[in-house]
Structure 1
Amino acid sequence: MMLSEEMLDIAEENLQALVETEKEEEEIRNLTNPLQIWITSASAPICYQLIPLLANGEVFGMTTEISIHLLDTDEFKNDLCGIVMEVEDMAFPLLRSISEHTEINKAFLQADIIIVLDDILLKREVQSLENYIRKVSEICYVYAPLIEKNAKKEVRVISAGKTFVNLKAMMIITYGPSINPENVIAVATSWETAAKAMLARKLNMNAAGVKDVIVWGNITGCHYIDLSHTKIYGCDSAVWGPANFSRPLMNLIYDSEWIHSEFLSARSSLRSRVCHCAAMLPAHAVATVLRYWFHGSPSGEIVSVGILSEGQFCIPEGIVFSMPVRFQNGSWEVMTELEINETTQEALERLSHDLIQVMISYT
């Protein structure tokens, strides 16, 4: 006896009630089943800066509890215990538990997220670069089967730090064939933000207004910072518009020689700044990528991460290569719609060749 319009109104109300109920149930599940986060080489300074960023609710949301597991060798057990006590005393509302681990066979139990640092190796006695790379490869050779055995099926693995992040991601994918390659990424955000800050200083503006800087290639090795898609918002210039109005970077930096000379030469100092930063920058980079992965990246913005190539942009398949992506609905997709100019394409060919040689040499 009900009119169609009335039935549609009731159906809409029922749908809204269902959505709200599901949201409440998800919040309850998040509170009763905390995310299990494992951090390797947890005595590294990056970890010390990263934990508060993960535990304050801004990364995973204010209704998601987390449990943090710190993994390192026996020689750093006292350091781990000190971190655990200090974090417990901070009483983060969303931190269910934090624990230290030195038994490698029990690593990554029920892990939802694994953050691979291993920068602590830099403090150890390593005779040469080749030996250091071999050490990294050996560690990943141990980690990958443990991830397959102990972690959850859809575990997300982040290769982070200041050295060989592409190689670490590649080794985990290679030595752990059952790990979903789409769930293994390398973090390039430190280079993005450092380049944005450099551009903002040149333009005398807030770095938040610099968007879409792309990092291509081997993140902590030979890479190319691409400004051809960079947009500027809120720059103090003769042309103004609403908050969503942007202008291409190349139209604002009239001194093109600065881009081709000073900016390129400044990248060496940029490398020095990123590689020798204490810990805040790489920790912020990891937290930012995790937040995007779980909640999506800002609409329309480009994010650079190292992923296993499937031939996008004519990059050879099977290598971990930093390229532009967007995060949405808990996953990422490569922004293949971007047009690549001749200069960038030449850089990609060179970087691909260099990275393949690295992978051949150390795999």
Structure 2
Amino acid sequence: MAKFVLAGKSDCPHFARAELLADALYRSLPNFRVHKISIIPHEWKGWLEATCYRNGWKHEESPVVWRELVDQGGKRMLLGGFSDFLEHCRDYYNFTSDMDSETMLRVAAENLETKIKLIAEEQHRLSVIKPLHIWITGALSTTSSFLIPNLLSNEVFPDAAALSLHLLDLQGSEQELKGLKMEVEDLSSSLLHQVTIDTDLEQAFHQADVILFLEECWSGDSDTKGESDEEKKEKKLQIISDRYTEYGRLINRRANADVKVIVSGDSFVNMRCSLLVDAACSMDSNQFVATASQVENEARAVIAEKLGVQTSDVTDVIVWGNITGSFYTDLQRVQVFNFGGAITGPPFFSQSLHTIFHDRKWLESEFQDLVHCRRTAVASKSSRAAAASGAHGILTILKAWNGNCGADETFSLGVVCPGFYGVPEGIVLSVPVSFTDRKWSVLLDVAVGDDLKQRLQVSTSEIRLEKERGSKKQQDGLDNRLQKGAKW
């Protein structure tokens, strides 16, 4: 199937002639497809330069025509300008255009008038609709495919009239993002206002109301031949430090003042959140959180399996510390529903875990190991990351943050600790919180003994070391550039 893209200045006579020729071919040939892009005259030069740069082309006039070779790997093939398109149609389809100059000018004028009207209508539509702008980084991760369909709902965003979804993936291909965009649009969500895609940071986080940081593919991850595990980790920390520092600066400049930022994933979650807070220096640190809900749910599943109940029957698990590092799963407040023991009651009846389960050695050793290993076990069995549970964890925090939770519900959340529990200020650690009036607050009525305080100190040291190793690489790079006489 022939799929052509025809783009040009809306007042260009040759663009008008090419349009009519393409329309005639479409009517005559069942397998001929054309997509037309009309660009307002003063925007044409910038649009053409960006398009040619992105595709490695050289073209300087209106119109520009290319083929979308979708059936051959999705690449684009530049055909050329109007004369090239005309020659192609004559040679391949025995079709030509006999439009005279007067008709060309008239159609071009009509095109320009129509384009101006469409722009005015779109501006009016946008002025009436105030969508909530949601940015997702690492948009091509497997988590995204589970997250997005559930994200576009009033349950998650009860006050939103419309949602604008912005998909960002710095390592992904534009074709893959276009495919994801089409899938999202095919969901036909009544809340969805628009979907945009980006593979660079040119527009990143502009007007953002919510930013969701998923696990990303770090450049250099696969280029590790001959490197030790420590060298691989060092390289990854450097890349993360550079990227998240830049993310934070962009959030500081471009996002809305009350933006909500959630960091998730399988690596360095606390550190990544901390880097954003440091770089977005004019933002309230309470707007940045790292989700530990996935770990909570993994712990609930382990307990449920041990007791023979449903995962949903286990509540109030607390995850402390470094979410993707040396975290500790605290069971002091855990309640269990529907347990078939000596004492039973109605569905709303629950019992403390420590009342019905007395194997303290298992809880402090094997249980902790099982929680730490569960995500890896899921990945090994399914040959992919635990994407569904990761998406569910993000949605859980979003719903609570937007007011869809009970006042007595407990959540584990990576936040900038204000000196509680003997932890130094400014460290992002997972602690128990509750949500009231769409704001989180740290729970202070939780028992924190000496053993737990020591565990929190270990997590604090671990996160500090990760940040130092990343920033040390940045400083080394800066020193090298200065020694070479780089200008700043």
Are 1:164 and 2:268 counterparts?
yes
* Residues 176, 266 of structure 1: alpha-carbon distance in 2 compared, 3 angstrom cutoff: same
The answer as to whether partners of 1:105 and 1:146 remain within 8 angstroms in 2 is no
Look up the SS of the partner of 1:247 in the other structure: strand
1:97 aligns with 2:194: yes
1:224 is matched with which residue? 328
Distance 1:317 1:67 in 2: 36
Given the alignment, which residue of 451, 455, 461 partners 1:343? Answer: 451
Letter in 1 for 2:302: M
Q: CA RMSD in A?
A: 2.1
Q: SS of the residue aligned with 1:338?
A: coil
Q: Which moved more, 1:257-266 or 1:305-314?
A: 257-266
Aligned residues of 1:296 and 1:328 also touching (Cα < 8 A): no
Aligned to 2:96: none
- Partners of 1:212 and 1:122 in 2: how far apart? 38
CA distance in 2, matches of 1:241, 1:225: 28
Q: Give the C-alpha shift of residue 62 in structure 1.
A: 7.8
Q: Spell out the pairing of 1:1-363 with structure 2 (5 A cutoff).
A: 32-61=129-158, 64-73=161-170, 75-121=172-218, 124-127=221-224, 128-273=232-377, 277-363=385-471
Q: Please say which structure displays the higher CA radius of gyration.
A: 2
Q: Work out the CA distance in 2 between the residues paired with 1:120 and 1:103.
A: 14
User: C-alpha deviations, 1:130-179, integer Å up to 9, x for none?
Assistant: 11111111111211121111111111111111111111111011111012
* Secondary structure, counterpart of 1:105 in structure 2: coil
Question: Greater CA deviation, 182-191 or 206-215?
Answer: 206-215
CA distance in 2, matches of 1:103, 1:255: 52
Deviation at 1:201, TM superposition (A): 0.7
Q: Which digits, 9 at most, give the CA deviation of each residue in 1:14-45, with x for residues without a partner?
A: xxxxxxxxxxxxxxxxx932210001121111
Q: Distance in 1 between the 2:159 and 2:461 partners? A: 44
Task: Call closer, same or farther: CA 1:75–1:270 in 2, change over 3 Å.
Answer: closer
SS at match of 1:337: coil
Q: Residue 109 of structure 1 aligns to a residue in which SS?
A: coil
Per-residue deviation, 1:74: 7.0
- Give 1:10's aligned residue: none
Q: How far is the alpha carbon of 1:211 from its aligned partner? A: 0.9
Give the conservation status (yes or no) of the 8 Å contact 1:60–1:291. yes
1:119–1:162 Cα contact (<8 Å) kept: no
Name the CA distance, whole Å, in 2 between partners of 1:235 and 1:122: 48
- Identity, % of aligned pairs? 32
**Structure 1: distance between partners of 2:170 and 2:364:** 46
Q: Amino acid of the residue matched to residue 193 of structure 1?
A: N
230-239 vs 131-140, which moves further: 230-239
Aligned residue pairs: how many? 333
Shift of 1:343: 3.1
Where 1:121 maps in the other structure, the secondary structure is: coil
Change (3 A) 1:178 1:274: farther
Q: What are the ranges of 5 or more consecutive residues in structure 2 without an aligned counterpart?
A: 1-127, 225-231, 472-488
User: For 2:132 and 2:146, how far apart are their aligned partners in 1?
Assistant: 19
User: Displacement, 1:224?
Assistant: 0.6
Give yes or no for contact 2:326–2:458 (8 Å, CA) kept in 1: no
Change (3 A) 1:151 1:245: same
Contact 1:162 / 1:282 at 8 angstroms: preserved in 2?
A: no
Query: So what's the TM-score if we normalise by structure 1?
Result: 0.86
Q: How far has the Cα of 1:241 moved from its partner? A: 3.3
The amino acid that maps onto 2:324 is: T
Give the conservation status (yes or no) of the 8 Å contact 1:144–1:173.
yes
Cα 1:350–1:103, aligned 2, differ >3 Å: closer, same or farther? Answer: closer
1:225-245 Cα deviation digits (max 9, x unpaired): 111221112222221234443
- By relative contact order (CA 8 Å, sep 6+), the higher-ranking structure is 1
After superposition, give the CA deviation of every residue in 1:281-324 in whole Å (9 maximum; x if it has no partner).
11111111111110143332210010011111111111110000
1:194–1:274: 8 Å Cα contact kept in structure 2?
A: no
Distance 2:170 2:385 in 1: 24
Q: Is the 8 A contact 1:311 1:317 kept in 2?
A: yes
TM-score, structure 2 normalization? 0.65
Which blocks of at least 5 consecutive residues in structure 1 are unaligned?
A: 1-30
Aligned to 1:14: none
